[in-house]
Amino acid sequence: SNLGLKHHQQFVAMSGGASGSPGMLWTSKKPAVLHGKKLLESGKVELLSLTGHYQGSTVEDYRRWVELAVKHNPKTIIVIQSPWVIKRNKQFAEYSKEVTQATNTSHEGIDRLREAFPDTTFLCVPQGQWMVELWRLFEADKLPELTQFVSGKKGKSQQALFRDNFGHGGELAEKQGALMWLRIIYGIELTDYEFSTQTKYDLKELAQRICDKDPYCKVENK
C-alpha cells in the first residue's frame, strides 16, 4: 500500500526442502498446489515464481510450469528465486562460494528457458547473495541490531542473523529481503523509497546494489 499497488494479490503454495522444488511440486497432490495450477489455468496470473532448486528438479520440470502459465497468459513473467544455501557448520568463505555457484546455476537455467520461450520474461531474485552480504556486515559489526549469529531459541530470531543452524534466515534477513522483490518486479528506486528498515546500515541501498549488479534481475535482459 505504501507504493500505491492496490491491486497486488499473491498466492503461495509452500513445501519445505526438496518437496518444494518445481519437479516435486508438479506431481504433488496437495490442495494448495492443485489450486495454484487452477489459478494459472484461469489466465489471471501475471507472474509465476519458482524456487531455484536444481537438486530436485531439471530444467524440464521448470518448463512444465512455464508452459502451463504462458499457455493461459502469454504475458506471464517468470521469476526464479536463487535462495541461500544450507549453512550448518560452514565458514563464510565456503558459504559464499556455494551461494555463487547456486546463483550461477539459476542463471544457466534461465538461459535455457529463455531459449525455449523467447517471448517470455525471465528474472532472477538472488536471495542467496542477500544473505552473504548480511553475514559480511554482521561480521564487520555493521548490524548492531543483530546480537546473535544463530538464534539460541526456536522461533526467536528477531535479533539473530540465522534462525537455526540449518541456515534459515532470521526475521531481518527474511523481511528486509523483500526489498529486492520490489526492485526486480516493480523497478522501485529503493534509495528513494520511504520505508524504514530500522537498521543503522542502509539496507535499501544494499538491496538495490545487489539487484543492479546482477543482469538477470533486469527486465531488459530478456
Residue 12 has a pLDDT of 79
| Strand ranges, E, within 11-74 | 47-51
Which three-class secondary structure state does DSSP give residue 148? strand
Residue 3 has a pLDDT of 57
Note the residue count of the chain.
222
Average of pLDDT values for 64-71? 97
Distance, CA of 140 to CA of 180 (rounded, Å): 22
Q: What is the pLDDT of residues 119-160, one digit of tens each?
A: 999 999 999 999 999 999 999 999 999 999 999 776 667 899
Average of pLDDT values for 164-192? 93
Residue reference for cell 511440486:
25
- Identify residue 11 by its one-letter amino acid code: F
Residue 18 has a pLDDT of 73
Which three-class secondary structure state does DSSP give residue 202? coil
| pLDDT of 56 strictly over 90 | no
Per-residue DSSP letter, 160: E
